[in-house]
Structure 1
Amino acid sequence: MIRLLKACACIVILMISMPLARAAEPVDTAQSIIQNQIEAFLNDDAETAYSFASPQIKGKFPDKTIFFDMVKRGYAPVYRPGNFAFGRSKVEGDTVVQEVLISGPDGKDWTALYFLVKQPDGTYKINGVQMLQQAPGPEI
């Protein structure tokens, strides 16, 4: 009888935690994609970095070289981050917005807002990045 009660309690706990796990899944996926793309930039691997771009981004930048050059010129903190860490995230339907706190190559602090969109095949692709420069903090 005690075993049956323990088993029922485990099932109830699993059922309660399942929605939480499903909500975390797109965020974990988004963070993995962002991490992999940043690593590709650090390794000058244009092909891999480009593979994480959405069809909309690929429509604007139809070649991996053009895409890579655009990131180098316009998104230096993403292309060559000093340090980075994941901040807040938000899931709205098929879109994940992920905040990434970045120390740029010039030592300035940035917040990059990544927008990832779920594709028809169930994967997520980066559909845009908005860069926000942070105000300088106190010297330490």
Structure 2
Amino acid sequence: MRAILLLVLTILLAGPLQAQDGPGSVIRDQFQAFRADDLPRAFSHASPMIQGYFQTPDRFGRMVEQGYPQIREPGEVTLQELREEGGRLIQRLTVFDGNGLPHLFDYEVIRTENGWKINGVRYVKGPPMSV
């Protein structure tokens, strides 16, 4: 069963980071929206669950600003591996903050009738501590 799921994901996501409608493109566009301070556009990439929870682009923007400042004011963003984890599709990202320090995030993405949406973000790891 797992092999079939991986085969289907491979077929569906062949070249997803280059595809216009792949999960990578929706993530990249949300970062562009944050850089442009276009909260309605950034909010439009959130899943129906996330949109239902935050209700408005302004509330969503405040949450991101307070909880994920590296995402709200990102430097360079690099998409890493796309993987299946417990039936969920996870896109790993490296986001560089304003000081050029790397932070790892896992983005859960889902396919909806309106295309790919971001269903959650988890902070994985920050820059190494200096002594």
Report the TM range for the smaller structure's normalisation: 0.7 to 0.9
Say which of 79, 85, 102 aligns to 2:95: 102
Pick the structure with more helix per residue: 1
Q: Kindly name which structure, 1 or 2, has the bigger radius of gyration based on alpha carbons.
A: 1
Where does the alignment leave 5 or more consecutive residues of structure 2 unmatched? 1-8
Alignment of 1:19-38 (within 5 A): 20-24=10-14, 28=19, 29-38=22-31
Match in the other structure for 2:120? 128
Q: CA RMSD in A?
A: 2.5
Match in the other structure for 1:66? 59
Q: State which drifts further: 37-46 or 93-102.
A: 93-102
Secondary structure at the counterpart of residue 89 of structure 1: strand
Quote the offset at 1:117 in angstroms: 1.1
**Gap change, CA 1:44 and 1:114, over 3 Å in 2:** same
Match in the other structure for 2:71? 78
Match in the other structure for 2:4? none
Match in the other structure for 1:113? 106
* Distance (Å, rounded) in 1 between the aligned partners of 2:128 and 2:87: 34
**Gap change, CA 1:118 and 1:95, over 3 Å in 2:** farther
Identity level (%): 29
Quote the offset at 1:72 in angstroms: 1.0
String of CA shifts for 1:16-39, please: whole Å, max 9, x gaps: xxx855332556411000000000
User: Is the contact made by 1:42 and 1:79 (CA closer than 8 Å) also made in structure 2?
Assistant: yes
Amino acid across the alignment from 1:124 = W
Q: TM-score, normalised by structure 1?
A: 0.73
Quote the offset at 1:109 in angstroms: 1.8
Amino acid across the alignment from 1:24 = A
**Gap change, CA 1:111 and 1:61, over 3 Å in 2:** same
Secondary structure at the counterpart of residue 24 of structure 1: coil
* Distance (Å, rounded) in 2 between the aligned partners of 1:132 and 1:93: 17
* Distance (Å, rounded) in 2 between the aligned partners of 1:38 and 1:125: 13
Where does the alignment leave 5 or more consecutive residues of structure 1 unmatched? 1-18
Give aligned pairs, total.
119
List structure 1 segments (4+ residues) > 6 angstroms apart after TM superposition.
none
* Distance (Å, rounded) in 2 between the aligned partners of 1:131 and 1:67: 17
Amino acid across the alignment from 1:134 = G
